[in-house]
A and B are shown apart, each in its own frame.
Chain A
C-alpha cells in the first residue's frame, strides 16, 4: 500500500515537472520508432541512450522507458495499415489487423489495438507494483552463489528461447560473455583479452555493440531489401476509431487473457513480447467458437496479442529491477543505461532507493495514458511522418548511429567497433543467430564472473558452495539442464534411429 501511495505522489510530481515533457516525447519517439520497419525497441533504446546522459537519472530513465513502451504501441501502425510489422512482436497484428483494414475498418482496428495495448500495459504495471517488492525481499537473501546460479539460468533461458537453434543462442551468449571479459580483471587489475589494442583496455562498451548488432545490421537488411511501405488508402479520423459495442464486448476477455499471458511470459528471461503475442494468438484461436474465421479480421485475434505485448513489458521489468537480470535485448540495454547512470538494479535498489521504483512506475503509468491518446488521436500524424522519414531511413539512421556512438565516449574506436559488429551481426542474423543473448552476455558477463569468483573465494576454492545453497543448486541444475536437454534429446533420437535401422526385418 505504501508503494501505491508513493506512486501517487510520484505521478503528481511528474506531471508538474519537466519530466512530463520527456514522458510524452519518449512515447512519441518510441511510437515512431516502433512503426518504422527496421527499428525495434532494442535499436531505438541504443540510439537514444547517448542523448540522455545529460539528463538526471530519473528523467533519463522515464524517457527511455517511454521510448520502450512507445515501440510496443507503434509496431501495430504499419502492421494494420501496410501489412508490414514495425517490429517482431507486431507480426501477429498483421494476421487480423490488415484484413480488417482491407475491409475498410482500419479505424476500429487501430482503436481496438490501442485500447488493448493500454489495458495490457496497465495490467503489467499493476503486476510490477504488486510483485516487485516481494521478489526483491526474497532476493535480499541472494549471495554470490545464488547470483551466479541466477545468471546461468537467465543466460540459458535466453540462449534457448531467443531462436530456433539452441547451440546458436548459447554461442551468442558465450560470445557476449567473452566480450565482457575484455579489459581489466576487476580482482587482480590484470589487463586481459585486449589483443594488444590500447583502446580495448577499458573494455567493449554496450552502446557500440548494441548499435552494431541491432541498428547497423537492420540498416543493412533495409539496404538489401529496400524500404517500401505502402499504406492502404483510408481516412483515419477520431470519430471512426471506435469499434462497435459488440466487438468491444467480444474483446474484453481476450484482453484479460492476453494481459495475463503476456505478463507471465514477460517474466521469463529470453521470452519477451514476441513469444507472448504468438502464444496469446494461439490461445484466442483455441478458445474461439469460430477458429476458422481467424485470419479474416477477428477482433479477438487482434486485441489479445496487443494486450500480451504491452503486459510483457511490466513482466520483464520485474526481474530487471528486482534481480538485475534483463529478460530481453531491450531490457538488457535499459540495464546498461541504468548502470551508466550509476544505478544498480537489484534487491538493494528497493531498500536504498524506493522512490526510484515509484518514479519508474509513475513514469510508465503517465506514459501509458499519453500513448493511448497519441495512438488513437494522432495516428494520421504518425502516418504522415512515416511517409516523410521512410525514404531517408538509411541516411538518418547512419548519421544518428555515428553521432550517438561518438557522443558516448568521444572515441572513434567505438564507431569502428559498431561497424564491425554491424557486419558480423548482419551475417549472423541471416544464419538465424539471435542477437539478444549477445547483448545480455555483455551486460551480465562482469557480474557473472564477479559472483563466481566471490563464491569460490568464500569457499576457499571449493565448488561445492554452489550445491550447499538450495537456491543456487536448483538454478544451476535447471540452467544446465535447459542447455543439455536439446543435446540429450538429439542424441537419444539418433540412438533410436540407429537401433531401428539395425533391427532385422520381421520374418
Chain B
C-alpha cells in the first residue's frame, strides 16, 4: 500500500470514529439542570474537532501530496503478513488462556513466536519458552502475588 493511500484510509478511519462518537452523543440525554454542558456537550465538540483535524491530512494528500507519497508504507507484503501473523498468534493465545491456563498458553505463544517469526530452531525455542514461563512465574506469582489464570487446571 502506498503512503498516500494509507494516509487517506487512516484519515477516513479517524473521521469514522469521530462520526460514530458524534452519533453516540445524540442518544445522550440533555442536561437536567438546564445548563448547556450536559453529558453530551464535551464529547460532541471533541468528535467535531477530531473530524476536522482528521480531514486536514486527507485534503492535503489530495491537493498537495508529500514527496514520499508514492513510497510503500510497509516494505513488502511478506512483512505485512508477518505482522498479521503476530496478531493472530497473540489473539490465539488470549483465546486459549481460559482453557489451558496462562502458563501453557504463554509457553505455546513464545514457541510459536520464536519458531515462526524469529526462525529459531526447536531446542532453542523450547528453552526460551520454558525460561519465559519461569521468569513470569517468579516475578508475578511469587514476587508480586498476582495469581494468573489456571484455566481448566484450576
A binds B: yes
- A180-193 interface mask toward B, CB cutoff 8 Å, 1 = contact, 0 = none? 01000101101011
For the complex formed, measure the closest distance between the CB of A66 and the CB atoms of chain B, giving whole angstroms: 18
Whether the Cβ atoms of A426 and B38 lie closer than 8 Å is no
Judged by DSSP, the binding face of A is helix
Q: Interface extent on A, as a size class? A: 35 or more
Contact of A431 among B3, B93, B144 (CB under 8 A): B3
- B78-115 interface mask toward A, CB cutoff 8 Å, 1 = contact, 0 = none? 01001100110011011001100010001001100110
A392 contacts which chain B residues (CB < 8 A)?
114, 128
A175 contacts which chain B residues (CB < 8 A)?
14, 17, 50
Whether the Cβ atoms of B128 and A395 lie closer than 8 Å is yes
Contact of A171 among B20, B37, B54 (CB under 8 A): B54
- A218-239 interface mask toward B, CB cutoff 8 Å, 1 = contact, 0 = none? 0110011000000000000000
- A113-156 interface mask toward B, CB cutoff 8 Å, 1 = contact, 0 = none? 00000000000000000000000000000000000000000000
For the complex formed, measure the closest distance between the CB of A218 and the CB atoms of chain B, giving whole angstroms: 13
CA distance A175 to B87 in the complex (A): 23
Which B3-37 residues have a C-beta within 8 angstroms of A?
A: 3, 6-7, 10, 14, 17-18, 20-21, 24-25, 28-29, 32-37
Contact (A399, B110) CB under 8 Å given A167-B56, A174-B50, A461-B34: yes
CA distance A398 to B47 in the complex (A): 32
Whether the Cβ atoms of A185 and B39 lie closer than 8 Å is yes
Contact of A177 among B28, B32, B36, B46 (CB under 8 A): B46
A457, CB-defined interface residue at 8 Å: yes
A282 contacts which chain B residues (CB < 8 A)?
none
Whether the Cβ atoms of A192 and B39 lie closer than 8 Å is yes
| Count of residues in B whose CB is under 8 Å from the partner chain | 65
Which A299-339 residues have a C-beta within 8 angstroms of B?
A: none
| A positions within 8 Å CB-CB of B | 51, 53-54, 165, 167-168, 170-171, 174-175, 177-178, 181, 185, 187-188, 190, 192-193, 195, 219-220, 223-224, 391-392, 394-396, 398-399, 402-403, 406-407, 412, 415-416, 419, 423, 426-428, 430-431, 433, 449, 452-453, 456-457, 460-461
Given contacts A171-B14, A412-B98, A461-B36, 11 further A-B contacts (CB under 8 A): A53-B144, A165-B57, A168-B57, A174-B50, A190-B28, A193-B21, A395-B128, A403-B148, A419-B94, A426-B83, A431-B10
